């Protein structure tokens, strides 16, 4: 049997995490939902969603940097000769936008369509406030996203349990991968999902046991945006072979406050800044 390859990639930088403490993301909407970005790194425009602009609170888009990250990673995949035949992603908007960026970077955005798979969504325990609501594939298609409307998902959004345990999450990810591999028995597959997906979508597939909670969170905290891992298979046996591309590293660029040039209380401003930085490190 010919070798098969599966690539699992985390989404790019997300608006809520990048701007959650500053309020710039939420405050870019007025009381009527009109959007005006308050930072250059916030998206210039946002897709129209059926649940209204409030839906972005639980289904955040990428930042401008996040979308650039995805295109650069796609370019790296192309430059390293990676061939992709099938593309699937989590229904989260940040994953959908990352998928589009990856395809553009690879030069495949006019040739390949992607399928939206709810089974690839992150651990439901992180949906703290309400069941997530995503933009349906038919609406994504109307917005110009190259999405397949004929794909039958392994899971529906209603089947995802808010009370899901970590073991349940591992099993859902493992089951989704098995169904995806059966649905697409030939060719290489690109999976675009979440930070924990690089672990949960591969661990049991290569014969590993479900990890402890401590180990799970350690791996999650050390899986930055656009991390990529590759699986390879011959004769139906899967093994983890690392990443097909170099790592993606860059520095943190903090918000600039021009008023610091005229303030008379730099010591107070410094204490306020240090307090915000301490909050960020514990996020």
Q: What is the CATH number of the domain that holds 159?
A: 3.40.50.1240
**Residue found under tokens 């495949």:** 108
Note the pLDDT tens digit of each residue in 192-232. Answer: 999 999 999 999 999 999 999 999 999 999 999 999 999 99
Q: Please report the pLDDT score of residue 279 as a whole number.
A: 46
Domain count within the chain: 1
Residue 186 lies in a domain: yes
Sheet containing 228-234, strands listed edge to edge, beginning at the edge strand earlier in sequence: 114-116, 86-89, 189-193, 4-10, 228-234, 237-242
In this prediction, residue 234 carries a pLDDT of: 85
104 within domain boundaries? yes
Q: Is residue 142 part of a domain?
A: yes
pLDDT for 113 equals 97
Q: How far apart are CA 226 and CA 193, in angstroms?
A: 10
The predicted pLDDT at position 131 comes to 82
Within a domain: 223: yes
Residues marked active site are found at 10-11, 194
Contacts of 258 (CB under 8 A, 6+ apart): none
- Residue 25: inside a domain: no
pLDDT at 223: 96
pLDDT digits (tens, 9 = 90+) for 161-197: 999 999 999 999 999 999 999 999 999 999 999 999 9
157 lies in a domain? yes
pLDDT beneath 70, residues of the chain: 1, 129, 264, 275-283
Question: Hey, what are 273's tokens?
Answer: 């800044």
Q: What is the pTM of this model?
A: 0.92
Q: From CA 67, how far away is CA 224, in angstroms rounded? A: 15
4-10/114-116 β-pairing = unpaired
Residue 39 within any structural domain of the chain: no
Residue 264: per-residue pLDDT: 65
* Host domain of residue 200: 4-14+63-242
Domain assignment of residue 225, yes or no: yes
Confidence at residue 110, expressed as pLDDT on a 0 to 100 scale: 93
For residue 210, give the DSSP letter. P
């Amino acid at each position: 049997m010919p070798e098969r390859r599966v690539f699992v990639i985390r989404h790019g930088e997300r608006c809520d995490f990048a701007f959650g403490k500053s309020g710039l993301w939420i405050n870019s909407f007025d009381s009527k939902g009109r959007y005006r970005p308050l930072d250059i790194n916030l998206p210039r425009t946002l897709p129209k969603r059926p649940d209204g602009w409030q839906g972005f609170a639980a289904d955040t888009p990428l930042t401008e940097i996040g979308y650039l990250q995805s295109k650069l990673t796609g370019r790296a995949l192309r430059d390293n000769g990676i061939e992709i035949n099938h593309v699937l992603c989590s229904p989260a908007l940040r994953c959908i936008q990352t998928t589009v960026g990856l395809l553009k970077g690879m030069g495949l955005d006019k040739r390949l369509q992607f399928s939206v798979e709810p089974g690839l969504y992150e651990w439901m325990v992180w949906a703290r406030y309400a069941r997530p609501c995503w933009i349906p594939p038919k609406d994504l298609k109307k917005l110009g996203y190259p999405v397949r409307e004929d794909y039958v998902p392994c899971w529906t959004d209603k089947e995802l349990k808010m009370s899901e345990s970590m073991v349940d999450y591992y099993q859902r990810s493992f089951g989704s991968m098995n169904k995806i591999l059966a649905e697409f028995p030939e060719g290489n597959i690109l999976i675009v999902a979440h930070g924990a997906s690089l672990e949960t979508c591969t661990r049991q597939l290569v014969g590993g046991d479900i990890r402890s909670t401590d180990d799970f969170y350690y791996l999650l905290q050390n899986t930055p945006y656009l991390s990529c891992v590759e699986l390879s298979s011959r004769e139906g046996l899967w093994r983890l072979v690392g990443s097909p591309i170099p790592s993606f590293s860059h520095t943190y660029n903090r918000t600039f406050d021009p008023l610091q040039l005229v303030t008379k209380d730099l010591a107070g401003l410094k204490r306020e800044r240090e307090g915000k930085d301490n909050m960020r490190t514990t996020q």
